[in-house]
C-alpha cells in the first residue's frame, strides 16, 4: 500500500486561557489513505475545526506527530507550513474566504502566485479549474456579484488549482441553502470519483453521508470511526482497507 | 509576485480608498511641495544674484571702498559699534588712491541719500534717490544717458550745480516738457538739468529710475553727506586682470592713511561683486542646510501618518492577510506587499507634491520679483525621499502583518 495522505499520532492541541487549559484535541491517532472521502462530525466545541486546522497546517499541535504524504510536518515553522499549504492542501471554508475586491479569476489565481508560477500558466490553470466547477462564464465577477453557491464553487476552484494532495472543507455548506448544498456536494462526489482525497467537517448527517467514512469527535477525542455503508453502496465499491 | 504586480495591487488598494490615501500622504505632499517651491526660488535667486544683483550694487569688475561692508547680516551689535567708530571715507582718500594706484583705472566717489525734489513748475516728488558723485561714476556704473549729457570732470571739480535725472523723475517733474535746461530744487539748492538717464527698470521691486545725479563737489555733496565725506570710492581698472593688484594698492594706501600697524585689522571695507556673490553663496548654503531640516520634519510627520494609516489598513485587512497566508503566502510575501503599498502611496504623494511645488514656484515668480528655476535634481531627490519615507513608514505595519497567525487572522471579522 502507498503512503497514507495523512497519519497522526497522539495529536494534541491545548489552549491556555489564564489559569485554565482548554484541551481542544487529545491524543488523536488517525490515518487517511489516498482517495478516501472522510467526514469529521461531532457536537459544537468537540474540536473539529481545531483538528482541521492542524491537518491543514494552518496551526501547530501542542504535542504529537503528523505526517502529510509521508513528510513529518508537526515541527515545521511558519514559512515552511506556508509552503506545505501552498503545495499540498486545498481549503474550502464555511465563509468562503474570498478576497472581496478581486475577481473570481484572481481569487483562484492566488495560490499559484505564491507558488511562483508565471502569469501565463497561472491564468491557464485558473481558467481551467473555474470551467471545471462550471463558472467559465463568471470569471470576471467579484464575489459580491455571485450567488452563495457560485462563491463556494470559486472557493472550491481555488482549493483545487494547486492540485492538492488533500482537499479540506470546514462546513462547506454551512452558509448555503439545501439545493445549493446538494450541488456543492455533487461537485465533491465528482472530485472524489476523479481521485481526490477529501476531508469534510460537518454537523449535518446528509452531508456526512456523501463521505465513505465518518469520524466522530467528542471533547477532543475520537469517539467513533466508521465506514459509511450507504455511501459505499451508492458508489458501488468495497472499501480499500 | 513580481514588483509590478505588487504595485498594481497597491494602486488598486489606494484607488479603493482615495480620500483616506490622500490624507495619509498629505504630510509627504506638503513636505515635497515646500521643498520644490523653496529650492526653486533659492535657485532662481541665485541666478538672479549672479546675473543682475551683484552687478547692480557693486558694478562688474569694480572695487568698492567704504567704511563698512555694503551688506552685512551679522547679528552681533559689537560689530556695528566697531563700524561706527571707524573713520569716514573722504575726498582726500579718493585723491590718494587716484594718485597711488599702480594700474590704470577709473576712480570715482559716490554718496547716496533720499530727499524731496521740486521742479521749477512747482511739482514735488518725495524720496528721490540722490547721488553726489564724480564724473567717472557714469562710466563705472554703465549709466547711459538717454537725453542731454552727463556732467564732466571740470564741472565736478568746479562744483557746478548741474544735475542728471532718472527717467521716472524727469517724466514726473516735467511731464511731456523737455527737462533739459530747466531747473530743480533740492533742499533749497538749485540745479540745472543737463541730462536724463535711460530707463533701468527695478531691482527687487524697487524702481531704479526715480533718482538724480549731481557732481560730488556741487551743493549735492553737502546735501547727502557732511562736507568732505563720501559713502564710497569706486575703482574700476581698465583691465579685468588688474583687479587683484588694484585691491592690494587700495588696501596699502588706506592702511597708510589710517596709520594702521602690522597686526591691526583694516578699519575700512574693500568689496567686489565677486565677494558679494561669495556672501550670497553663504546665505544659500545656510538655506540649503537649514531647509532640508524643515522638510525632514514634514516628512517625518508624514511618515508617522502613513505608518498609522498603514497600521489601520493592515488591521482592517487582517482577514485578507489570513486568507493569503492560508493559501501559501510566506511572511516575506506579506511584508513586501505592505511595503510596496506604503512606498507606492508615499511616492504618489511626492509626485503630487512636486507638481504643486512647481506650480507654486511659478506663482511666486509671477507675483513677486523673485525668479524661480526648477532643478531636475531636486525632483529626483523628492521622488527618492517619497519612496524612502514610504518604505520606512511601512516597516512596522509590514512586520505586524507578516507575523499574523493565519488561524487567528481567518477568525477576524
Ligand atoms: N483560539 C482558541 N483559544 C482558546 N480556546 C479555543 C480556541 N480555539 C478553539 N478553542 C476551544 O477549543 C475547543 C474546540 O474548538 P473547535 O473550534 O475545534 O470546535 P468545533 O468542533 O469546530 O465547533 P463548531 O462545531 O462550533 O465549529 C472549544 O472548546 C473551543 O472553545
Ligand atoms: Mg468549527
| Domain at A208, CATH number | 3.40.50.300
Within-domain flag for A42: yes
Per-residue pLDDT at B204: 63
DSSP state of A100: T
Per-residue pLDDT at B53: 64
Q: Among B104, B93, B81, which Cα is nearest to B232's?
A: B93
SS3 content of chain A, % helix, strand, coil (to 5): 35, 25, 35
Per-residue pLDDT at A241: 42
Q: What is the pTM of this model?
A: 0.71
Per-residue pLDDT at B318: 93
Q: How many helices (H) and strands (E) does chain B have?
A: 16, 14
SS3 B177: coil
Per-residue pLDDT at A239: 45
Rounded Cα distance between B191 and B119, Å, is 10
Give tens-digit pLDDT for A107-150: 999 999 999 999 999 999 999 999 999 999 999 999 999 999 99
Radius of gyration (Cα) for chain A, nearest Å? Answer: 18
Total domains in the fold of chain A = 1
Grid cell listed for B409: 487572522
Q: Which residue owns the Cα nearest ligand 1 atom 25?
A: A44
Within-domain flag for A11: no
Helix (H) or strand (E) holding B102: none
If you average pLDDT over every residue of chain A, what do you get? Answer: 91
Confidence of residue B56 (pLDDT cuts 50, 70, 90): low
Within-domain flag for A27: no
pLDDT over 70 (residue B1): no
Instruction: Give the distance from residue B3's alpha carbon to the nearest chain A alpha carbon, in angstroms.
Output: 12
Give tens-digit pLDDT for B216-261: 999 998 888 888 899 999 999 998 889 999 999 999 999 999 999 8
pLDDT over 90 (residue A47): yes
Number of inter-chain CB pairs under 8 A, A vs B:
58
Give tens-digit pLDDT for A148-191: 999 999 999 999 999 999 999 999 998 888 888 998 999 999 99
Per-residue pLDDT at B41: 80
Task: Choose from A24, A77, A78 for mutation: most chain B CBs within 10 A.
Answer: A78
Per-residue pLDDT at B112: 86
Give tens-digit pLDDT for B94-142: 999 999 999 999 999 999 888 899 998 889 998 899 999 999 998 888 8
Task: Note the ipTM here.
Answer: 0.92
Q: Which residue owns the Cα nearest ligand 1 atom 26?
A: A44
Rounded Cα distance between A80 and B325, Å, is 12
Average pLDDT over residues B30-45: 84
Per-residue pLDDT at A236: 55
Rounded Cα distance between B409 and B413, Å, is 9
Give tens-digit pLDDT for A190-215: 999 999 999 999 988 989 999 999 99
Ranking A91-100, A129-138, B169-178, B272-281 by mean pLDDT, the lowest is B272-281
Neighbours of B255 (CB within 10 A): 16
Within-domain flag for A213: yes
Per-residue pLDDT at A238: 45
Cβ of residue B15 closer than 8 Å to a chain A Cβ: no
Average pLDDT over residues B297-318: 91
Per-residue pLDDT at B364: 82
Per-residue pLDDT at B5: 82
% of chain B surpassing 70 pLDDT: 94
**Cα(A24) to centroid(ligand 1), Å:** 6
Cβ of residue B324 closer than 8 Å to a chain A Cβ: yes
DSSP state of B199: P
**Chain B residues inside the 8 Å CB shell of A56:** 326
Per-residue pLDDT at B73: 66
Is A221's C-beta closer than 6 angstroms to any atom of ligand 1? no
Rounded Cα distance between B135 and B206, Å, is 25
The parent domain of residue A165 ranges over 34-64+74-237
Give tens-digit pLDDT for B153-184: 999 999 999 999 999 999 999 988 999 999 99
**Cα(A237) to centroid(ligand 2), Å:** 31
Confidence of residue B51 (pLDDT cuts 50, 70, 90): low
Grid cell listed for A121: 500558466
| Beta-sheet pairing, B189-197 with B162-165 | parallel
Give tens-digit pLDDT for B349-400: 999 999 999 998 888 888 877 777 777 888 898 999 999 999 999 999 999 9
Ligand number with the minimum distance to the CA of A42: 1
- What are the DSSP E strand ranges found in B100-161? 105-119, 124-133, 145-148
Measure CA B380 to chain center. Answer: 23
Amino acid at each position: 500500500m502507498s503512503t497514507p495522505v495523512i497519519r497522526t499520532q497522539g495529536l494534541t492541541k491545548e489552549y491556555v486561557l489564564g489559569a485554565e487549559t482548554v484541551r481542544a484535541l487529545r491524543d488523536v491517532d488517525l490515518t487517511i489513505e489516498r482517495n478516501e472521502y472522510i467526514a469529521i462530525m461531532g457536537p459544537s466545541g468537540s474540536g473539529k475545526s481545531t483538528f482541521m486546522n492542524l491537518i491543514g497546517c494552518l496551526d501547530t499541535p501542542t504535542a504529537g506527530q503528523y505526517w502529510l504524504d509521508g513528510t513529518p510536518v508537526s515541527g515545521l515553522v511558519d514559512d515552511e507550513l506556508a509552503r506545505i499549504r501552498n503545495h499540498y492542501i486545498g481549503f474550502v471554508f464555511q465563509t468562503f474566504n474570498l478576497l472581496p475586491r478581486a475577481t473570481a479569476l484572481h481569487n483562484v489565481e492566488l495560490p499559484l502566485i505564491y507558488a511562483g508560477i508565471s502569469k501565463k500558466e497561472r491564468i491557464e490553470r485558473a481558467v481551467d479549474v473555474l470551467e471545471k466547477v462550471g463558472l467559465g462564464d463568471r470569471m470576471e465577477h467579484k464575489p459580491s456579484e455571485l450567488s452563495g453557491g457560485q462563491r463556494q464553487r470559486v472557493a472550491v476552484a481555488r482549493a483545487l488549482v494547486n492540485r492538492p494532495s488533500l482537499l479540506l472543507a470546514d462546513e462547506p455548506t454551512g452558509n448555503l441553502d439545501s439545493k445549493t448544498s446538494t450541488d456543492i456536494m455533487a461537485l465533491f462526489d465528482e472530485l472524489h470519483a476523479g481521485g481526490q482525497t477529501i476531508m469534510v467537517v460537518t454537523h449535518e448527517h446528509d452531508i456526512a453521508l456523501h463521505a465513505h467514512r465518518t469520524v466522530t469527535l467528542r471533547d477532543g477525542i475520537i469517539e467513533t470511526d466508521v465506514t459509511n455503508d450507504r455511501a459505499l453502496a451508492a458508489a458501488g465499491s468495497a472499501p480499500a482497507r | 509576485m513580481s514588483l509590478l504586480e505588487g504595485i498594481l495591487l497597491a494602486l488598486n488598494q489606494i484607488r479603493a480608498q482615495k480620500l483616506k490615501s490622500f490624507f495619509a500622504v498629505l504630510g509627504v505632499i506638503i513636505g515635497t511641495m515646500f521643498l520644490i517651491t523653496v529650492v526653486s526660488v533659492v535657485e532662481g535667486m541665485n541666478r538672479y544674484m549672479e546675473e543682475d544683483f551683484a552687478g547692480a550694487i557693486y558694478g562688474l569688475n569694480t572695487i568698492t571702498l567704504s567704511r563698512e561692508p555694503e551688506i552685512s547680516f551679522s547679528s552681533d551689535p559689537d560689530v556695528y559699534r566697531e563700524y561706527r567708530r571707524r573713520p569716514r571715507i573722504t575726498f582726500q582718500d579718493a585723491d590718494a588712491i587716484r594718485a597711488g594706484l599702480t594700474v590704470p583705472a577709473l576712480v570715482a566717489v559716490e554718496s547716496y541719500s533720499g530727499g524731496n525734489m521740486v521742479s521749477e513748475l512747482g511739482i514735488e516728488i518725495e524720496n528721490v534717490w540722490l547721488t553726489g558723485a564724480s564724473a567717472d561714476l557714469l562710466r563705472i556704473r554703465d549709466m547711459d544717458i538717454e537725453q542731454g549729457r552727463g556732467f564732466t570732470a571740470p564741472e565736478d571739480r568746479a562744483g557746478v550745480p548741474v544735475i542728471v535725472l532718472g527717467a521716472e523723475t524727469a517724466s514726473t517733474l516735467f511731464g511731456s516738457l523737455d527737462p533739459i535746461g530747466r531747473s530743480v530744487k533740492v533742499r533749497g539748492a538749485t540745479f540745472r538739468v543737463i541730462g536724463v538717464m535711460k530707463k533701468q527698470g527695478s531691482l527687487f521691486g524697487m524702481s531704479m529710475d526715480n533718482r538724480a545725479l549731481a557732481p560730488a563737489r556741487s551743493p549735492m555733496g553737502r546735501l547727502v553727506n557732511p562736507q568732505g565725506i563720501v559713502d564710497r570710492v569706486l575703482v574700476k581698472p581698465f583691465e579685468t586682470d588688474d583687479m587683484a593688484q588694484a585691491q592690494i594698492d587700495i588696501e596699502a594706501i588706506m592702511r597708510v592713511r589710517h596709520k594702521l600697524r602690522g597686526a591691526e585689522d583694516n578699519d575700512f571695507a574693500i568689496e567686489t561683486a565677486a565677494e558679494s556673490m561669495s556672501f550670497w553663496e553663504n546665505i544659500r548654503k545656510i538655506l540649503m542646510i537649514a531647509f532640508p531640516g524643515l522638510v525632514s520634519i514634514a516628512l517625518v510627520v508624514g511618515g508617522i501618518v502613513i505608518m498609522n494609516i498603514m497600521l489601520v489598513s493592515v488591521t482592517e485587512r487582517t482577514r485578507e492577510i489570513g486568507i493569503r497566508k492560508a493559501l501559501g503566502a510566506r511572511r516575506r510575501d506579506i511584508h513586501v506587499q505592505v511595503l510596496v503599498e506604503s512606498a507606492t502611496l508615499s511616492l504618489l504623494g511626492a509626485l503630487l507634491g512636486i507638481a504643486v511645488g512647481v506650480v507654486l514656484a511659478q506663482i511666486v515668480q509671477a507675483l513677486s520679483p523673485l525668479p524661480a528655476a526648477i532643478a531636475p535634481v531636486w525632483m529626483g531627490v523628492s521622488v527618492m525621499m517619497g519612496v524612502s519615507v514610504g518604505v520606512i513608514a511601512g516597516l512596522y505595519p509590514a512586520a505586524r502583518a507578516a507575523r499574523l497567525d493565519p488561524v487567528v487572522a481567518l477568525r477576524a471579522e
